[in-house]
């Protein structure tokens, strides 16, 4: 079983709609969860972090975490063509200090004008 799983897509969403990206993870001991955005040919860019169950909102982005279901999601409201990118879900096992991240393979999101 893969440690972090995402649907590779592509996920096509019309401009102005809500894009919903999902991620599941296998290690119940995971403590920290992240969403990175990666444009083609560029490096991953951190857009959201979440550490406790529930929702966390930042502008047009909302991250949702459900540790019981081992499920993380990212909602993008009012989607814009500039949101078209690959979104990587990442998980950190450590409850403190700094550890490496385990990444999913990413979901390719396309926002249709």
Partner 1 sequence: DAGVIQSPRHEVTEMGQEVTLRCKPISGHNSLFWYRQTMMRGLELLIYFNNNVPIDDSGMPEDRFSAKMPNASFSTLKIQPSEPRDSAVYFCASSLFGLHEQYFGPGTRLTVT
Interacting residue ranges for partner 1, rule: CB under 8 A: 32, 34, 36, 42-46, 49, 88, 92, 94, 96-106
Q: Is the peptide bond before 24 cis (omega within 30 degrees of 0)?
A: no
Paired residues of 56 in beta bridges: 63
Shortest distance, position 83 Cβ to partner 1, whole Å: 19
Contact 27, 93 (CB under 8 A): yes
Shortest distance, position 66 Cβ to partner 1, whole Å: 19
Q: Closer to partner 1 at the Cβ: 17 or 46?
A: 46
Q: Closer to partner 1 at the Cβ: 42 or 77?
A: 42
Within 10 Å of residue 98's Cβ, how many Cβ atoms? 6
Q: Is 70 exposed, middle or buried (0-12, 13-18, 19+ CB in 10 A)?
A: middle
Q: Closer to partner 1 at the Cβ: 68 or 98?
A: 98
Shortest distance, position 44 Cβ to partner 1, whole Å: 5
């Amino acid at each position: 079983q893969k440690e972090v799983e995402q649907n590779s897509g592509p996920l096509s969403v019309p401009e102005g709609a809500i894009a919903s990206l999902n991620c599941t993870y296998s290690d119940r001991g995971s403590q920290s969860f992240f969403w990175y955005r990666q444009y083609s040919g560029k490096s991953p860019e951190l857009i959201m972090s979440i550490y406790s169950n529930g929702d966390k909102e930042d502008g047009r982005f909302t991250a949702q975490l459900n540790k019981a279901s081992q499920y993380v999601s990212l909602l993008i409201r009012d989607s814009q063509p500039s949101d078209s990118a690959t979104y990587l879900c990442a998980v950190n096992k450590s409850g403190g200090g700094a550890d490496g991240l385990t990444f999913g393979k990413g979901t390719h999101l396309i926002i249709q004008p």
